[in-house]
Amino acid sequence: MSETPVEIVAVKSVTQHPNADRLEIVKVLDTQLVAPLDCFHVGQSCVYFPPDIMIPESVADALGVKNYLKHAVYPGDSEKSQCRVGAIRLRGVPSFGFGLPLDERLGVTLGDVKVGDDVSEAFSAEKYQPPPKMRSSDAEPDHPAFHKYTNIQHYYRYASALPTGTPVRITEKIHGSNSRVGVIDGVGMAGSHNVRVKMRNANHDFSPYWLPMTDNMIQMMEFISRGVLNVIVFGEIYGSRVQSMDYGLPLTGHRVFDISVDGDYLDWEDIKTYCDLFEIATVPVLYEGPFRPELIDQYISGPTTLASPENICCDFKGREGIVITPLEETFSPVLGGRLILKAVSPDYYAEVK
């Protein structure tokens, strides 16, 4: 199953929009969308299109949603079209993606479907992938021990994976570029989420993915590895030269959010201890304590904690979202891997993404 499929969901609740007489708030999964009045009722099955799904412009046109979609390049196309589902605030209320009743207006035949079925293929839906920012000539061969970071799932789809009361850290999700630096079999390595990269490219320019490999970072990794263990430090490179959000930085910054030792992720207390010892910055912690579902809405939006608004040059001065991780590493049978979830701000979807 894809991370964000178009799927059949059941309507959990329908309430009147507080600021609009002709709109209502529809709860599906563990998220919500704003819809015209009387389109949905509790218990009804519908098709849910989440943010970051792309559908062909022709399909969007047939569904009557084209004007609500963002521009992107649909796979196989050469130019941008209105094909990408997003999120927005409608009269002050967040609306994540959109839903459609199971009726003739869909324009496709779904057959005998039930709640939980992935119907992405019926709508030619694809997950949005940001365009690559590096050339193949910049890449180094993969190393099996220099593994990628966890593929983080959305809270709205897997809320059941995180029991109430679980001790967690909620950190600010930074709009930058995922990075990893490591010492593998005694050799220094660096890369993006997907690609291990050379220190210098074909033009002899220094790769930004090697910038976190400072003297302090090298000393910390050597201290952790004790000359034997493989260590990977995962973080986010951010700033004016990375993405559209500058965070008040003229160049770039780096924040650590996880450390892996021989393939096992460390507990947050150990990560903080190592990073504090070697004076390496970590991602901002917004909350630490027992998890409650209402914390998602409390922390998902708001100003970034990385810079004061007056120091930020870009128009959007909020946070991208949040990441929720247990204080102690935990296996989730629901996720089939480590327990870690994310939630993206509707303001970020609307103004930046």
Is residue 165 domain-shared with residue 100, that is, in the same domain? no
Total of domains in the chain: 2
CATH, residue 49? 2.40.50
Query: Would residue 291 count as lying in a domain?
Result: yes
**Res 334: pLDDT:** 95
Is residue 146 domain-shared with residue 266, that is, in the same domain? yes
Interval 191-239: pLDDT, tens: 999 999 999 877 778 889 999 999 999 999 999 999 888 999 999 999 8
Range 243-271 average pLDDT: 93
Interval 281-312: pLDDT, tens: 999 999 999 999 999 999 999 999 998 888 88
**Res 2: pLDDT:** 46
Q: By residue range, what is the domain housing residue 178?
A: 136-351
**Is residue 104 very low, low, confident or very high in pLDDT (cuts 50, 70, 90)?**
low
Is residue 116 domain-shared with residue 142, that is, in the same domain? no
Is residue 54 domain-shared with residue 142, that is, in the same domain? no
How much is the pTM?
0.88
Give 184's contacts (C-beta < 8 A, 6+ positions apart). Answer: 143, 145, 146, 230, 232
In three-state form (DSSP H/G/I as H, E/B as E, the rest C), the secondary structure along 93-117 is EEEECEEEECCHHHCCCCCCCCCCC
Which of 66, 93, 127 finishes a domain? 127
Least reliable range by pLDDT among 4-8, 229-233, 238-242: 238-242
Interval 127-154: pLDDT, tens: 998 776 656 568 889 999 999 999 999 9
The average confidence (pLDDT) of the chain is 92
**Res 129: pLDDT:** 83
**Res 277: pLDDT:** 98
Query: Would residue 13 count as lying in a domain?
Result: yes
Closest Cα partner for 1 from 167, 155, 121? 121
- Tell me the β-bridge partners of 188: 183
**Res 231: pLDDT:** 98
Query: Would residue 1 count as lying in a domain?
Result: no
Is residue 54 domain-shared with residue 193, that is, in the same domain? no
